[in-house]
């Protein structure tokens, strides 16, 4: 049983109450807690030694990544983060100085985005470090962007470049909070999420939630320099395109909007975010599944992104 099969099994009959606007199944839960013209966003995520970082990773970068992953999910709903709780599990013989340095990286990113760290929990976790972040934020009432709004004919966009994140980006990525809010304020985005498990896997979440299919244009997929260099060295297990589709940990924005807005968006984006690439990589189509178009035609794309337990 893989990660998504387990999630489906555990979430099919969860208890709800009148505060729930969006429950399990999107990047954040959305709650109506009577905060005037705002809805509350609620997110939790964890990083585990040996999975998301190694024992050689600089501790400041471990702390930064732990919070950045949650911030990226707030960005995926076009929200603004507010406050976080931190749970840290440590081996019995832990290094207190190393733990303090983890908090240096975490706190620096929190200050950068105006996030208050308001408490948490410490516990014993045999053999390895585990950090879990619970983060809340807000989004204007009725303005949250979900995975489920993609429409046939939409253009598909992605920010930045994809693949090869283990060369360093998975620790140093910038959550696209400002970019997502700008999109929500200036364009009628239909569906939005962040890329954590690879384009080929994450795009399928939008397709499933929206009841549509998609066609990607091979030459339009923005491949990172790291993925290309790995492929050139010949020491990578996959070609550069496959890395861009499946590696994961890119933490870029993936979104759809009406194709008639594609050119105005690209023009406006270049003015607003000249240092961040934005690529139109395909279109939403009727039916199901994910396909890839190249010089020889269109064929099904069997590749998937990273999946825990698989």
In a domain, 308, yes or no: no
Confidence of residue 207 (pLDDT cuts 50, 70, 90): very high
Report if pTM > 0.85. yes
> Which pLDDT does position 236 carry in this prediction?
53
Task: List strands edge to edge, sheet with 29-35.
Answer: 20-22, 29-35, 38-48, 130-140, 80-90, 116-124
> Which pLDDT does position 12 carry in this prediction?
85
> Which pLDDT does position 309 carry in this prediction?
64
In a domain, 113, yes or no: yes
In a domain, 120, yes or no: yes
Q: In the listed set 89, 114, 140, which residue is the last one of a domain according to the structure?
A: 140
- Confidence check: pLDDT of 33 > 80: yes
Confidence of residue 232 (pLDDT cuts 50, 70, 90): confident
The CATH code of the domain that includes 42 is 3.30.1330.10
Q: Are residues 130 and 240 in the same domain?
A: no
The CATH code of the domain that includes 207 is 3.90.650.10
- DSSP class of residue 218? G
User: What are the contacts of 55-60 at 24+ separation with CB within 8 A?
Assistant: 57/171, 58/101, 58/105, 58/171, 59/98, 59/99, 59/101, 59/102, 59/104, 59/105, 60/101, 60/102, 60/104, 60/105, 60/108
- Confidence check: pLDDT of 303 > 90: no
In a domain, 21, yes or no: yes
Q: Are residues 129 and 162 in the same domain?
A: no
Per the listing, tokens 């923005």 go with 222
Q: Are residues 248 and 170 in the same domain?
A: yes
Q: Are residues 126 and 236 in the same domain?
A: no
Record the tokens describing residue 7, joined without a space. Answer: 């999630």
Q: Are residues 176 and 286 in the same domain?
A: yes
Q: In the listed set 140, 170, 199, which residue is the last one of a domain according to the structure?
A: 140
> Which pLDDT does position 5 carry in this prediction?
85
Q: Are residues 79 and 168 in the same domain?
A: no
Q: Are residues 132 and 235 in the same domain?
A: no
Distance separating alpha carbons of residues 177 and 41, to the nearest angstrom: 14
What percent of the chain has a predicted confidence (pLDDT) above 90? 89
In a domain, 85, yes or no: yes
Q: Are residues 116 and 44 in the same domain?
A: yes
User: By residue range, what is the domain housing residue 81?
Assistant: 3-140
Q: Is the pLDDT higher at 33 or at 2?
A: 33
Q: Are residues 118 and 178 in the same domain?
A: no
Q: Are residues 166 and 198 in the same domain?
A: yes
- Confidence check: pLDDT of 304 > 60: yes
Record the tokens describing residue 184, joined without a space. Answer: 């929500």
Distance separating alpha carbons of residues 263 and 3, to the nearest angstrom: 37
Q: In the listed set 87, 113, 140, which residue is the last one of a domain according to the structure?
A: 140
- Confidence check: pLDDT of 235 > 80: no
The total number of structural domains in the chain stands at: 2
In a domain, 148, yes or no: no
Q: Are residues 123 and 166 in the same domain?
A: no
In a domain, 147, yes or no: no
In a domain, 84, yes or no: yes
Task: Specify the range with the lowest mean pLDDT, choosing from 174-183, 193-202, 228-237, 275-284.
Answer: 228-237
Q: Are residues 119 and 10 in the same domain?
A: yes
């Amino acid at each position: 049983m893989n990660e998504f099969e387990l999630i489906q099994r555990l979430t099919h009959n969860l208890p709800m109450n009148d505060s729930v606007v969006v429950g399990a199944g999107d990047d954040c839960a959305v709650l109506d807690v009577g905060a005037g013209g705002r809805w509350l966003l609620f997110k939790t995520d964890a990083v585990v030694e040996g999975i998301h970082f190694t024992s050689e990773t600089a501790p400041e970068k471990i702390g930064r990544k732990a919070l950045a992953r949650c911030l990226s999910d707030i960005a995926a709903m076009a929200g603004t983060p507010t406050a976080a709780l931190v749970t840290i599990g440590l081996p019995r013989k832990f290094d207190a100085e190393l733990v303090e340095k983890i908090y240096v990286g975490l706190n620096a990113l929190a200050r950068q985005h105006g996030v208050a760290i308001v408490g948490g929990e410490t516990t014993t976790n045999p053999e390895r470090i585990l950090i879990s972040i619970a983060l809340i934020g807000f989004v204007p009432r009725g303005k949250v962007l979900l995975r489920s709004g993609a429409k046939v004919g939409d253009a598909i966009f992605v920010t930045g470049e994809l693949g090869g994140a283990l060369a360093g980006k998975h620790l140093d990525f910038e959550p696209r909070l400002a970019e997502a809010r700008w999109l929500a304020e200036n364009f009628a985005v239909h569906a939005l999420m962040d890329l954590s498990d690879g384009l080929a896997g994450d795009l399928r979440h939008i397709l499933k939630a929206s009841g549509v299919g998609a066609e990607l244009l091979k030459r339009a997929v923005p491949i990172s320099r790291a993925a290309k260099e790995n492929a050139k060295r010949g020491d990578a297990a996959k070609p550069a395109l496959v890395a861009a589709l499946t590696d994961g940990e890119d933490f870029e924005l993936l979104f759809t909007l009406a194709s008639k807005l594609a050119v105005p968006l690209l023009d406006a984006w270049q003015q607003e975010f000249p240092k961040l690439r934005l690529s139109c990589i395909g279109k939403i189509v009727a039916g199901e599944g994910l396909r890839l178009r190249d010089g020889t035609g269109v064929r099904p794309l069997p590749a998937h992104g990273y999946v825990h337990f698989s």
